Amino acid sequence: MSRNILIGIAGGSGSGKTLVARTIVRDLGSSRVTIVDQDSYYRDLDDIPIADRDLRNFDHPDAFDNDLLKQHVRRLIDGQSIEQPIYDYTRHARLKETKTVGDHAVIVLEGILIFVDEELREMMDIKLFIDADPDIRLVRRIERDVRERGRAIETILRQYQATVRPMHLQFVEPSKRYADLIVPEGGHNRVAIDLMKVKIKDLLRERDGG
Which helix (H) or strand (E) segment holds residue 17: the answer is helix 17-28
Decide if pLDDT at 210 tops 70.
no
For position 51, what pLDDT does the model report? 76
Average pLDDT of 143-149? 89
- Summarised one tens digit per residue, pLDDT across range 170-199 is 999 999 999 999 999 777 888 988 888 888
Decide if pLDDT at 1 tops 60.
no
- Summarised one tens digit per residue, pLDDT across range 80-92 is 999 999 999 888 8
Which helix (H) or strand (E) segment holds residue 142: the answer is helix 134-149
Helix, strand counts (H, E) of the chain? 8, 7
Backbone angles phi and psi of 190, in degrees to 5? -65, -30
Average pLDDT of 130-157? 90
* Domains of the chain, first to last: 5-207 (3.40.50.300)
- For residue 35, give the nearest of 80, 115, 99 by alpha carbon: 99
pTM for the full predicted model: 0.91
| Three-state SS letters, 92-123 | CEEEEEEEEECCCCEEEEECCCCCCCHHHHHH
**CB of 83 within 8 A of CB of 181?**
no
